[in-house]
Each structure stands twice: as structure tokens, then as C-alpha cells.
Structure 1
């Protein structure tokens, strides 16, 4: 299944998603990002959205654009943020500052050497955090990106990719369930 197949399966009520998917996955539709960044963010977002057909289609769409290490970095961003988003959302939502003072005690070694440019990994981590809804992680990754002089428009593009990929996953799952 490729992205055209995914888009064709989307119901008419989700036609905006078809258009948005084409847009955000292009360099012109993702201002501030280069094609490699778009690919890493989109793949990490698809994995985080947990819809296997979409993940396969997105990976196929970007076939040959990423090295094996960069593809693994996208996977690593989805994996590590899957853990961190739950933990840090807990810390935030419990509302007791004592938890924020405790050592997390979770290994996060991949963040030091992700297999791609640090900024690219941060962008993917921000996108996954947007999907998973962790405010603490979003804030942390946004601050890190800004310290690396990443423009707000690039950060917004990463969030837009995450939003569209996730919405396509949800609508695609609904369409498959209805069929």
C-alpha cells in the first residue's frame, strides 16, 4: 500500500486530509525544513500514530532518501518519546512538584547519538510529542530547537506534519473499520 492508496481510502469527509498530506510532505508545504527532515519527521509521526499501513506507505514514499541510520533515528524518536511522553506527562499532570525533583531513572542514551543530525532528531521528537500530547516534552524540544537557531516556521512545519499524519491514521482506521 502506498500513500495514493491510503488517500484513496479516505472518506469524502476527510478530503482535506488528502490535500494536506500532499502539502506537508513536500518541501514547499513544510517551510523551513529540508527533504531529509520532512522524511524523518513523517516516518516518526507515522510510527507514533500506530497505523501500520500508513507507516509502511510513508516509509515507502521516502524510500532511498534516508540512510539506514537516519531511518533508525526516526524509529528511535518514536520509541524513546513513546516512553518519555508517558513518563513526563505523568510528572506534569500529577501536579506534585516532588516528582519533578526525582531522577527519572530511564535510559535515554539514543538522544545523545541518534544516528542523524541532532536537530533532525529533535524535530522528530517534537512531532511525536505533539501526537502523544506531552506538554513538558513539547516545551523542552521546542526550547532546544530554538537554542539551535531553528526558525519557528520550521518547528511549526514539524507540528503540522505530525497533525496531518495522525489525522490520516485516524481517518484511515475509521474507513477500514467501516468497510
Structure 2
């Protein structure tokens, strides 16, 4: 398994990250599509090739082609939205909050998978990218769809650990260069 092999390459100082990756991969709080879609979306959001390749390989038989595409689409659209909405939220001038966004976001309305799963992945990516406004919006959508706090928290855990794993891999790559 590519995911296990990648986990094993993490240095000893990142033992907690290794352990958390393993426990999250085995956890049953989310269904398989929700869990592995969150892993894949967060890997794409983190942007570390080694991590992306490992999770692409790991999800080859765990996600349908439509789910893989939707998870990557969640990373792509939230890459744009997180920057825009975080900026609008952080700007002191509230006029920007009243202006039409003017950015295409069609994938959110028709992601090609269960809308709740896509919202879960968008929330996880928003955690990786640090956009509170988007986190609130996606959490509200998930609650409307009767996702539990435990399920939402599990997606946030995946986001946190994938992000930490990506940081370790970037740092180790920088040391090796």
C-alpha cells in the first residue's frame, strides 16, 4: 500500500503524525467514500507531490472515478474560494462583503457525488487553507444534511494530520536538497 509506505518514510520525530494517519485510515466514523475523499482532497490542497501520489494510489480501489474527481475538484474550488472569502473577511472595509463575488463555482452545485460528501471535503480543505468563513458555511451545510459533530470533527482531524504530514515532507525535502 502506497499510503502505508509513505507513512513509514516519515521521520521518528513525526511519530505522532504516523500514528494518527494510521488510526484515521482505520476509523469508521465516516464511510469509506467520505474518509478517503477527505484524505485525497486534503492531499491535493497541501500540494506535496509525494503525498498526492500516495493517496492517489491508495484510493485507486477505494473511490470511484467520480468521487476522485470530486475530491480533487473540492481542493481546486476551495483553493480559490478560501483565498477570496478569507480576504473579504479579513479586510476592514465591509463594502467588499456586499459586492457580487463574480467567480464561477458551478462544481459546488453539481459535484457528481453526494452533495454532503462534497461539502465535507470542502470543509476539510477549508481547514487546510485556514478560511474561517468557509468553515462556517460548509459546517452549516453539513449540519442541514444531518452530519454529526463527530463526523465533521473526523474530517477536521484528517485535514490536520494530512497538513502536518505535508509539512514534514516539505521540511525533509528541503533538508535533502
Are the aligned partners of 1:74 and 1:124 in contact in 2 as well (CA < 8 Å)? yes
Q: Secondary structure at the match of 2:60?
A: coil
Are the aligned partners of 1:126 and 1:137 in contact in 2 as well (CA < 8 Å)? yes
Higher relative contact order (CA 8 A, sep 6+): 1
TM-score by length of 2: 0.95
How much has 1:11 moved relative to structure 2?
1.4
Does 1:50 pair with 2:25? no
Alpha-carbon separation, structure 2, partners of 1:55 and 1:7: 13
- Counterpart of 1:26 in structure 2 is 26
How much has 1:8 moved relative to structure 2?
2.3
- Counterpart of 2:61 in structure 1 is 64
TM-score by length of 1: 0.94
- Counterpart of 1:75 in structure 2 is 72
- Counterpart of 2:131 in structure 1 is 134
- Give CA-to-partner distance per residue, 1:81-108, whole Å, 9 cap, x none: 0000000001000022211110000000
Alpha-carbon separation, structure 2, partners of 1:42 and 1:4: 13
Structure 1: stretches of 5+ with no match in the other structure: none
Alpha-carbon separation, structure 2, partners of 1:61 and 1:94: 40
Are the aligned partners of 1:45 and 1:165 in contact in 2 as well (CA < 8 Å)? yes
- Counterpart of 1:8 in structure 2 is 8
- Counterpart of 1:125 in structure 2 is 122
Instruction: Kindly tell me the number of residue pairs found equivalent between the two proteins.
Output: 176
Alpha-carbon separation, structure 2, partners of 1:22 and 1:7: 8
How much has 1:42 moved relative to structure 2?
0.6
C-alpha RMSD of the superposition: 1.2
Alpha-carbon separation, structure 2, partners of 1:52 and 1:114: 24
1:29-178 to 2 correspondence within 5 Å? 31=29, 33-178=30-175
Alpha-carbon separation, structure 1, partners of 2:115 and 2:39: 16
Are the aligned partners of 1:9 and 1:175 in contact in 2 as well (CA < 8 Å)? no
Alpha-carbon separation, structure 1, partners of 2:22 and 2:55: 11
